[in-house]
Amino acid sequence: MAITFRNLAWALAPLALAACGSKPPADSNIDSLDAELAGGNTTGNSRDPAMMSALQDQIMVDPALTGQANNDAVRPPQQPYSGATPPDSVAPSKTDGSNIADGTGSSSGGSKPAPAPARDCPQCKVKRDSVTLGALAQRQADKRTSGCARSLQYSTAWVQRLPSDIPLYPDARVDEAAGVAGNGCALRVVSFSTGASVQSVIDFYYGRVTAAGYSAEHQADGGQHVLGGVRGKDGGAYVIYVEKRGDGRTEVDLVANNGN
């Protein structure tokens, strides 16, 4: 009997349909691969030890880096974040090569042991009675300082215009600053904190001001220290208040009437 093309087509159709129906769906292949990676081949009971160890090990965390995140902090960290360029409100560190604190990087005088403080401290009362930097400046005995204090303008930009011989302490973090320029005034008032000790701050400024020709009187009442003096040749005057804060940092208020 002759086989026609139509008969041959009808004979092969069931085979084609069977072949299509036997192909596994793609999702089934993916599920099988996931099972092999996660739990191994159950029929062959084979697992990759290196892969299982990597999947089950704890995630490594660097505590030094997570500490810098500080996402939930209410107050700023005790030290500035590490970075390429510090903000203007942070003084250069004495580890930056200039060695400001020991004087080796400047001809204006370095740290020098200050004499023991006198226990009579009228300036300590001035500090206690002053709520703002402006009030502190207005209560100064120097007439040029107190007179110019009435026109104080607040901005951290005044930090950059402190007298060159009474600079910001190394590693200082500025909290507030004010100043006035013109009409015979060059007043600068800065409040900052540092991780250095009270004695280190006093010695630093004592060395600087005496090298620049100022007088320097050291007073203290309890934990409050004051260093102040004048310079006859130009009428320059300064007062520096130093005390330990509750958080362990040293707080400094600096008043100078001859800024840049």
- By the 10 Å C-beta count (0-12 exposed, 13-18 middle, 19+ buried), 179 is classed as buried
Quick one: pLDDT at residue 131? Answer: 86
Cβ count near 156 (within 10 Å): 16
CA dihedral 163, 165, 169, 174 (to 10 degrees): 0
Q: Alpha-carbon distance 239 to 176, whole Å?
A: 16
Residue type, 34: D
- Plot region of 75 (φ>0 → left; ψ -120 to 50 → alpha; else → beta): beta
Question: CA nearest 172: which of 193, 154, 190, 152?
Answer: 193
Domains of the chain, start order: 5-56 (no CATH), 113-256 (3.30.310)
Strand order in the sheet with 224-231: 153-154, 173-182, 185-194, 250-256, 236-244, 224-231, 217-221
Q: Looking at the DSSP assignment, which residues form a beta bridge with residue 243?
A: 251
Quick one: pLDDT at residue 188? Answer: 97
Those residues with Cβ within 8 angstroms of residue 191's Cβ, 6 or more apart along the chain or in another chain = 133, 174, 175, 176, 177, 251, 252, 253, 254
Q: Which residues of the chain have pLDDT under 50?
A: 42, 44, 84-86, 95-107
Are 241 and 137 in contact, with CB atoms under 8 Å apart?
no
Alpha helices in 57-107 (DSSP H): 63-67
Those residues with Cβ within 8 angstroms of residue 213's Cβ, 6 or more apart along the chain or in another chain = 231, 233
Quick one: pLDDT at residue 107? Answer: 41
DSSP letters, 113-153, are: PPPPPBS--HHHHHHHT--SHHHHHHT-S-HHHHHHGGG-E
Q: Alpha-carbon distance 13 to 59, whole Å?
A: 57
Those residues with Cβ within 8 angstroms of residue 210's Cβ, 6 or more apart along the chain or in another chain = 109, 112, 216
User: Strand 224-231 vs strand 217-221: parallel, antiparallel, or unpaired?
Assistant: antiparallel
Quick one: pLDDT at residue 185? Answer: 95
For residue 62, how far is the Cα from the chain centroid? 20
